[in-house]
Amino acid sequence: MLQKVDKENNKDHETSMDLDKNNIIKVLFPTRCNDDLITSIYAFIKMFSGKISVDFLNILPPTENGPCMKKNIKNSMYDRAIAEKELYKFVKKLPKRENLFYNYRVAEGELSDIILNLSEEGNYNMIAIEAKEFCSHANNIIDVMKLLDSVGIPIIFFEWGKGDSEIHNYKDVEEVKV
Domain count for the chain:
1
Are 104 and 88 contacting, i.e. CB atoms less than 8 angstroms apart? yes
> For 16-118, where are the E strands, in sequence order?
24-31, 51-60, 100-108
Residue 85 confidence class, pLDDT cut points 50, 70, 90: very high
Q: What percent of the chain has pLDDT over 90?
A: 16
C-alpha distance from residue 29 to each of 32, 74, 90 (Å): 10, 27, 13
Q: Would residue 4 count as lying in a domain?
A: no
Residue 163, in any domain of the structure = yes
Range of the domain at 36: 24-168
Is 9 part of any domain?
A: no
User: Mean of the pLDDT values across residues 76-80?
Assistant: 80
Of 36-40, 82-86, 109-113, give the range with the top mean pLDDT.
Answer: 82-86
- Gap between the Cα atoms of 21 and 116, Å rounded: 29
Residue 177 lies in a domain: no
Q: Tens digit of pLDDT for each residue in 33-62?
A: 888 888 888 888 888 888 999 999 988 877
